[in-house]
Structures are given as structure tokens and as C-alpha cells.
Chain A
Amino acid sequence: MSTKNWPLWEVFVRSKNGLEHRHFGSLHAADAEMALENARDVYTRRNEGISIWVVESKDITASNPENNGELFEPAQDKIYRHPTFYDLPDEVKHM
């Protein structure tokens, strides 16, 4: 059996309630159902998750690294846009 023709899927896992799904990695699968099962086996074997999303990699529109200059650099020197002047209370987690 060859996985050569299986599309690539991106896997997002929520590790506990209240947290967002985070990108965990990618895998091959023939369809969404198989992608979920594979994700369960590949990424949540050690109790890492309570919820899984999978999405076919081709459905993700990604920014082009070549455009990084125009997309991201203008923000770098606008220090007043960065929330770095606040002290976070210890009680606030996951920021």
C-alpha cells in the first residue's frame, strides 16, 4: 500500500478545555475520517488532547515568505502597538 497519493492534512489539537487548538503537525490520510484516526494515534498517544481538528493542507492559504517585508516589518518599529508596558498579574495564565 502506498501513501504516495494520500493528501496531506494539518492537525490541530486542543490540549485542555479553555485553551485553543494548536497546530501539532501534519500527516497523510485518504480522507477526513482517516485523518482524525491517524491524528489520534500519531499525536495524542500520551494524553495530549481532548479535541482534534484536521484540515487538508491544500485548503490553507499561507502568506508568502517573500512578502514578509511588506507584511510584517512595518509593525516592528511601532512600539506603541505592542502591549509590552503592562505587568501581567500572576493569576493570568496562558497569555
Chain B
Amino acid sequence: MKENLYKYILGIADNSLILGQRLGELCGHGPSLETDIACTNISLDLFGQVRSYYQYAAKIIGDGRSEDDIAMLRKEREYVNVLLVEQPNRDFAYTMARQFLFDVYHLLFLNELQKSKDVTLSAIAAKSIKEVSYHQRFSSDWVKRLGDGTEESHQKMQSAIDGLWTYTDELFHQTDIDKIIVSEAIGVDVTQLKETYYNLVSELLQEASLSTPESKWFQKGGKQGIHTEHLGYLLSDLQYMQRTYPNMEW
């Protein structure tokens, strides 16, 4: 029972951890000072949310594992984030497209999680909604700017959307644990969000003069711990300090 809830929470939190780490890679490397700070701000928002989730998960499992252990010391197969968020920052269009495709989902998800019977999860969701609304505003603006910008920016944004499209369907897959937690009125039935999601995304893409990809070939596996080749490299950055100097603190 508590093992199920623990795993369910990781399913939410790992997305934010991995996306936060990706955005954090831009610290000092963003395309401009302003966008650099914006991306790292979003990263910090996500890490803040992740801490609340992992602290709660650690309390539930209650075997001495800390939030840091959960974040830093799992193996690649034990991370259950969706494939979308682990995709690398190929260019700024790609980074913003990834952000946008996740933010739309994230906000829909949190709006539902707010209604959870679990008061802690509901409180974390309520607190995160303001942050994520801003994330969505920021990433949507950039999708529009680049999509509706110059020929080059349009082409880069379109190819980013086309490239990432294959990872969107997985957002709406339910694991067996999801189904159990949903049946307990704690979890969110993500299958119910799918239609709204694709409507919102297509609407914005249209506004941005971009076309909605028609491809129906989708990747999956992240929720089962089967990841793309990119996650291992990300984790080696993320975990380096804890692996090299176990239990170090500062």
C-alpha cells in the first residue's frame, strides 16, 4: 500500500527533477542573460516542488531513506520520468518546445491533483500551480515568438515540435500503480487529460503559425524505467557529487 503511493509520487516528481536538471544545464550557458535566468528560475521552481514530493515520499516509505537519497542515489532504471523531459537541450527552440509540451500537461495534471484525497499531494499541487502557470506562459510565448518569427526560427521551432512529438503520448499512459492510486481517489487519471491537452497544444501551435504533427508513432518506456540514451549522461552529472563523496553536505 505505502509502496504503491511511494512509487506513484516518484512518477510525478521524477519528471520535475529531470526537467529541472536539464534546465539547470543552461546556467551560465543560456542564449542571453535574460533567458538564462528565466530557465534557471524555472529549474529552481521545479526543484522546489521535487523536494516537497520526495520529502513526502521519504516519510511514507519510512525506512531511513532521505529526500537526497531518493533524488541522487537511484539507478537509471529506477527513475520513472517520461522520456520527454530527459531529451537534451539541442538548441533554444528545442528547449522551449520541450518545456511547452511538458508545461501544458503539467498544469492540467496539477489542477486535477489539487482535488486529491491525499491532503499533502493536494497542497503541493495547489502551491505549484502558480509557478507552473508562469512556466507555461513563458514557454508558450517562446513557441509563438519563434514559430511566428523569422523563416529560420520558424523552421527550428517546427523541427523541435516534430522531433519531440513522439514523446507526448506517453504523458497519458497509466501504469498499474497509477490505476490503483487513481481508484483510491488520490491519483490523477491522466487518460482523461489527453484530449484537452492535444486541443490546447494544437490551438497554440496554430497561433504560432506551426503545424501540428500528424505522426501517430509514439515512444514510451520512461514510466517503466526504460529510458533513452540521454538519461544516463544526465544522471552522471546529477549524481556525481553524492557518488564521489558519499553523504557530503554543504
- Using a CB-CB cutoff of 8 Å, which residues 18-42 of chain A contact chain B? 27-30, 33-34, 37-38, 41-42
| Contact mask for chain B residues 38-49; partner A; CB cutoff 8 A; 1 contact, 0 none | 100100000000
Majority secondary structure of chain A interface residues (helix, strand, loop or mixed): mixed
Q: Which residues of B contact A28 (CB under 8 A)?
A: 32-34
Q: Is the CB of B41 within 8 A of A27?
A: no
C-alpha spacing A29/B31, complex, angstroms: 12
User: Is A67 positioned at the interface, with any CB of B under 8 Å from its CB?
Assistant: no
User: Is B138 positioned at the interface, with any CB of A under 8 Å from its CB?
Assistant: yes
With contacts A37-B141, A41-B41 known, is A29 near B34, CB below 8 A? yes
Q: Which residues of A contact B92 (CB under 8 A)?
A: 1
State how many residues of chain B have any CB contact under 8 Å with chain A: 13
Q: Is the CB of B141 within 8 A of A38?
A: no
Q: Is the CB of B141 within 8 A of A27?
A: no
State how many residues of chain A have any CB contact under 8 Å with chain B: 14
Q: Is the CB of A38 within 8 A of B34?
A: yes
C-alpha spacing A6/B31, complex, angstroms: 13
Q: How far is the CB of A50 from chain B (nearest CB, A)?
A: 15
C-alpha spacing A30/B137, complex, angstroms: 16
- Using a CB-CB cutoff of 8 Å, which residues 38-82 of chain A contact chain B? 38, 41-42, 45
| Other A-B pairs, 20, CB within 8 Å; known A6-B32, A42-B33 | A1-B92, A3-B31, A3-B32, A3-B33, A27-B34, A28-B33, A30-B145, A33-B141, A34-B141, A37-B137, A37-B138, A37-B141, A38-B35, A38-B38, A41-B37, A41-B38, A41-B41, A42-B34, A45-B37, A45-B41
Give the interface of B toward A (CB within 8 A): 31-35, 37-38, 41, 92, 137-138, 141, 145
